[in-house]
Structure formats: C-alpha cells, structure tokens
Amino acid sequence: MAEDMNLITAWMQEQQKDRSPFIGPSGATDCIKRHGYRYLGIAASDGVDLGSAHMGTMLHLAYSQIIRESFSPDERDTEVEIDWGGPRPGSADDVDYVNRVVTDLKSTSGRSLAWWMEHGVTESYWEQLSLYGLGLYEQHRGNWTLRITAIVVDGNEAEYPKGTLHTFEQPLDVGRAEALRGFVMQRHERLMELRSRVQVGEEPGSLVESLEREGDGPGTFPCDWCEFASRCWPVPTDLDRTPQSETIFEDEAKVGEVAAEYKEWAARESEAKREKKKLQAFLKGVTGVFVGPDGATYTVTKVGGEPKQVVDTDALVARVEEIDGVVPMKWSASAAWPRVTKRKGSS
Ligand code: SF4
C-alpha cells in the first residue's frame, strides 16, 4: 500500500513538474494574479492539501481503468488531450464519441453536493468542460453534452454519504465557449507581455504587483486554496488590521467605497435576519417534506441537539470568591468589528 501511495505521489509530482504555467481549461477564469505568479515563474509560498489530492488521483486512476477496460478508444476514451485553441491543452476524464458526451469526474464533499443540488454546480467547472466541448466540437462537429459526475468522498451529510454518485448535464453552448476562449486569450496575451519583460531582466515580484487581486483574501475562497496566498496578501503592520484592510487603509477613496458597500450589505443582512427569524418561528418543531408554491420540494429537519448542561459561570465565580477571593482572569483578543454609519443628507 505504501508503495502504491509512493507511486501516486510520484505521478502527481511528475504532473506538476511538466505542467505548463499557461492557462488551461481548469482554472480558465481563475484570479489573474494567481496566473501571474505562475506565468512569471514565482515559487509557491503555501502548501496544498495532499490528502484530498491523493483521494482525487486514486479515483481518477480507477475511473480511467474502468473506461479502458470497458470500451474501445474510438468509442469512448479517457484522459483525452484536447486542443481547444487556448494557451494550454486540457485533459478530459471521459470522452464518449458515440453519444458525444464529455465528462469530468469531480470528487467532492457531501456538503458541496448538497449545495450543488440546490444552487447548481460551481460555474468554473462548467467553464472547464465547455472548453473541452469546444475543442471536441471543432474537431468532430455535432451536438455535444457536458457532464459532471460528482462522487462524494468526504463529509458526514446524512442525505449525501460517502460514495454517493450524481451526474449533472447541460448542452454545449458553442457561442459561450468561444467567448470564454476569447477572454482567456486576452488574459494570456497580457500575461505573456509581462513574461517577456522578465526575460529582458525586469523583476517578476514587482511586475506581478501590477495585476489585480481577484480574490477577497484570507478566510475566503479561492484565496484559502491558493498556493500564493501568504505571498499575495501583506502581513498587517498594525494588530487591529487584517491583510485585507492593510491593502487599502491609506487610500481614502477606496475605504469610502468599501464602507458604502459594507453599509449596503449590513442593511440587507439585518432585513434577511429579521425575515428568517420570523419564518423560523413558524417552522420550529415541524419536520417533513413539503411542496412550496414554486412547485419545488422542501425538506424541513431539526438542526442542533438536545438541551445540555453548561458551566454556570456566576455560581463558579461566587464559589472561587468564597474559597480565596481572587477570580483568575486573562486577556482575550478583541472581538471588535467595524460599524459603519451613514451621515444623514451626505448624498
Ligand atoms: S491569494 Fe487570492 S488574490 Fe492572491 S493570487 Fe491567490 S487567489 Fe488571487
């Protein structure tokens, strides 16, 4: 087993080594600064989660094996390199030439699958598939279907336990895929221009700073999964600031812009909380499956456990005072958050 794991690790490292830094179908609409680090050859500053990568790799290897054993490659093939006319070709997990279906296998958590069932699959996954579909359409013509096969490998969702399989499909929209390719090519040209400046001696670290951060920073997606996160975001020079506020605190116009946006979302949040609380009271203690006025099915379950015993701090403090009169205290970090008020009549 250890030997098999070493083989998988070696295979993955080999893949990383050979990987071109140019934009491919996966991550086509990734943050431009992240692409910038890659194009300019800047080393990653953060590790990646190898646990889920191992799991994904094993699943892909097993899936490919099943396809190879079950079909002839001209009917249905696996790990198919697809030239979609972009900077770097992609590799599709499964291409069914007979039924014109291109499939991407996604290992995921039960929680993510629950989210996808309710809100649809993450858009970037469809984008990746539509670029594969575009390459296949240009080579073979016909109407292609994009398919995502999701398999749950993580989490404890009762409704979507490990091993749950679900497929999502949509037809290839050639026009949309071509527009996406155009967007990628524009970004590629911009990044290649920076790359050529590095080749004539300019410093890559300062060139990459000319690219916008398209993520919202630590604590959010995609930055928490980005291998350049700690290089990209500054360490605050003041304990009260976050890496995000460190980037704007000297720019008054930018702070004003963020404050206005914050105020707007805070108002919406308060309204949403009020509405939610009101409706929760009508549902408390009710469970079951119900059909809403929109025709959709809603499952109402009880969340949270039974009442439990907690430390009675008042009694505890009284008891300690009774014994030796000194209640032990310590400093804890400030939980202060910004509050934004809008001055009446200011616009
Ligand atoms: S940390 Fe976030 S903003 Fe910075 S490069 Fe990565 S994804 Fe982009």
Q: Could you give the domains of the chain?
A: 2-188 (3.90.320.10)
| Rounded Cα–Cα distance for residues 13 and 233 (Å) | 27
> Which element (helix H / strand E) includes 329?
none
Mutate to test the pocket of ligand 1, among 29, 30, 33, 124 (most ligand atoms within 8 A of CB): 33
Q: Is the CB of 35 under 6 A from ligand 1?
A: no
Query: How close is the Cα of 221 to the center of ligand 1, in Å?
Result: 9
CA dihedral over 285, 290, 296, 301, signed as positive or negative: positive
Q: Please give the model's pTM, rounded to 2 decimal places.
A: 0.79
Q: Is the CB of 150 under 6 A from ligand 1?
A: no
Is residue 165 within 8 Å of residue 193, measured between CB atoms?
no
Tell me which residue has its CA closest to atom 5 in ligand 1.
34
Per-residue confidence (pLDDT) for residue 156, from 0 to 100:
81
Is residue 92 within 8 Å of residue 105, measured between CB atoms?
no
Q: Is the CB of 228 under 6 A from ligand 1?
A: yes
Angle in degrees, CA 242, 244, 246, rounded to 5: 70
| Rounded Cα–Cα distance for residues 42 and 205 (Å) | 8
Tell me which residue has its CA closest to atom 4 in ligand 1.
232
Query: How close is the Cα of 339 to the center of ligand 1, in Å?
Result: 27
Q: Which atom of ligand 1 is nearest to the CA of 222?
A: 7
Query: How close is the Cα of 216 to the center of ligand 1, in Å?
Result: 8
| Rounded Cα–Cα distance for residues 66 and 108 (Å) | 20
Q: Within a 10 A sphere around the Cβ of 226, how many other Cβ atoms?
A: 23
Q: Is the CB of 214 under 6 A from ligand 1?
A: yes
Q: Is the CB of 211 under 6 A from ligand 1?
A: no
Q: Is the CB of 208 under 6 A from ligand 1?
A: no
Mutate to test the pocket of ligand 1, among 48, 232, 246 (most ligand atoms within 8 A of CB): 232
Per-residue confidence (pLDDT) for residue 239, from 0 to 100:
87
Q: Is the CB of 227 under 6 A from ligand 1?
A: no
Q: Within a 10 A sphere around the Cβ of 178, how many other Cβ atoms?
A: 16
Tell me which residue has its CA closest to atom 7 in ligand 1.
223
Tell me which residue has its CA closest to atom 1 in ligand 1.
229
Per-residue confidence (pLDDT) for residue 312, from 0 to 100:
94
**Residue 151: both structure tokens together:** 């398999």
Q: Which atom of ligand 1 is nearest to the CA of 32?
A: 8
> How does pLDDT run across 69-103, given as a tens digit for each residue?
999 999 999 999 999 999 999 999 999 999 999 99
The mean pLDDT values, 10 residues at a time, for the chain of 347 residues are 62 63 94 97 85 76 91 95 96 97 94 92 96 98 97 85 94 98 98 97 96 96 94 93 95 96 95 95 90 90 80 92 88 77 78
Is residue 194 within 8 Å of residue 210, measured between CB atoms?
yes
